[in-house]
A = this chain, B = another copy of it.
Amino acid sequence: MTTAHPILVEALRGGTVESFHRGALAIVDADGAVHTALGDITRPIFPRSAVKLLQALPLVASGAAETLGLTDAELALACASHNGEPMHTATAAAMLAKAGLDASVLECGTHWPYDDAALKALARDGEEPTALHNNCSGKHSGFVCLGCTLAGGRDGAEPVRGFLSGYVQPGHAVMREVTAALQSATGFDLSNTPVGIDGCSIPTFAIPLQHLARAYARVAAGHGLGAAHDRAALRLRQAIAAAPQMVAGSGRFDTVVMQRLGERVCCKVGAEGVYCAALPELGLGVAIKMDDGNNARAVEVVMAAVIEALLPLSEDDAVFMRGHSDVGLSNRRGTEVGRLRASAALRAALGA
């Protein structure tokens, strides 16, 4: 037996806890004052895709988004871990076309769509996935658009292509801009922290939950990021609220929550059980990491409980959120066999 983070989520079967998920949670304001802390919020963790909004700040602040006329849907996709549905691949392709390029410039790699229907449709048509189906293709298309602006005087697709080559590497001009935005937003020294390679080949820097939550609190409050990034964050929040189907996709938690609550929540999942959110009306940022890296079943339940506890909700909205923080589990014949729910320890810490 060793000391450990608290249990945040329980999976029950037949009225008995069958499995459970431990983790840590930070809720912080833009000045860094801690609203809620569970577990160790000072240990650096890899935020993975939960910081895509922060990584997209230079796309807007550089003027690239305006120059290329990126739409709300395109900006939302730049902050997305999408399902690989046709709307997502088409939007990524449109971003690249505005930059005068195509999917061959993407360095994110390829995988089958997350979305079950999209996967089966590809299989049915005898097709293989492309880099556009990669859940990160929108973020990478955003990097490419940023790169077109950073490429400066280079004229024509080939010189721009040459400049972009290796844009996923830490030392490339594009990634240096992205990393600087992340460091500035979180206020955490990224030159002296563990760094890994993300699923889509860009670096991921270990950052404490406290700093991640503070960065999202700054996004929520609309100040503290510096004037250009404050404006960029607001623009991205508005784009995401206008096109939440782009950030994740059909039936996914990020999308359905923001479809329901609009600009009241700006949330983003990351691989390995990470979640970040900005709650603008409260000026608070949220960052969660599940110890075991569980996403769909654990960290979403925690985020649902956080939103449910912190935001004043209509009765309908409260019922909707409760449907994500205390969920019936059914078996192969549709019989309810258990529940997935936020733990009493989590609800107590949230004052719920």
**Chain B residues, Cβ within 8 Å of A292:** 19-22, 291-292, 294, 298
Task: Tell me which residues from 296 to 352 in chain A have a Cβ below 8 Å from any Cβ of chain B.
Answer: 298, 331-335, 337-338
Q: How far is the CB of A110 from chain B (nearest CB, A)?
A: 7
CB <8 Å contact, B332 and A108: yes
**Chain B residues, Cβ within 8 Å of A32:** none
Asked if A138 CB lies within 8 Å of chain B CBs, one says no
**Contact pattern, A 1-38, Cβ under 8 Å of B = 1, otherwise 0:** 11111110001011110111110000000000000000
Interface 9-residue window, one of A64-72, A77-85, A199-207: A199-207
Interface 9-residue window, one of A119-127, A213-221, A229-237: A119-127
Q: How far is the CB of A188 from chain B (nearest CB, A)?
A: 15
Interface size on A, residues (CB 8 A): 57
CB <8 Å contact, B194 and A15: yes
**Chain B residues, Cβ within 8 Å of A11:** 272, 293
**Contact pattern, A 233-261, Cβ under 8 Å of B = 1, otherwise 0:** 00000000000000000000000000000
- Residue from B2, B124, B206, B337 within 8 A of A7 (CB atoms): B2
**Chain B residues, Cβ within 8 Å of A195:** 14
Complex: A292 Cα to B16 Cα, angstroms: 14
Complex: A47 Cα to B4 Cα, angstroms: 25
Q: How far is the CB of A103 from chain B (nearest CB, A)?
A: 14
CB <8 Å contact, B13 and A5: no
CB <8 Å contact, A199 and B331: yes
CB <8 Å contact, A196 and B4: no
**Chain B residues, Cβ within 8 Å of A124:** 123-124, 126
Q: How far is the CB of A154 from chain B (nearest CB, A)?
A: 26
Asked if A109 CB lies within 8 Å of chain B CBs, one says yes
CB <8 Å contact, B109 and A332: yes
**Chain B residues, Cβ within 8 Å of A142:** none
Q: Closest chain B residue to A337 by CB distance?
A: B197
**Chain B residues, Cβ within 8 Å of A121:** 123
Q: How far is the CB of A214 from chain B (nearest CB, A)?
A: 21
CB <8 Å contact, B3 and A18: no
Complex: A332 Cα to B292 Cα, angstroms: 21
**Chain B residues, Cβ within 8 Å of A206:** 16
A→B interface (CB under 8 Å): 1-7, 11, 13-16, 18-22, 39, 45-46, 107-111, 119-121, 123-124, 126, 134, 194-201, 204, 206, 272-273, 290-294, 298, 331-335, 337-338
What 8 new A-B contacts, CB under 8 Å, besides A1-B5, A1-B39, A19-B291? Answer: A13-B46, A13-B196, A18-B46, A19-B292, A110-B332, A120-B120, A121-B123, A292-B292
- 14 residue pairs from A and B, CB less than 8 Å apart: A1-B3, A2-B7, A13-B46, A13-B197, A15-B196, A18-B45, A19-B292, A109-B331, A111-B332, A119-B120, A120-B123, A134-B332, A196-B338, A199-B331
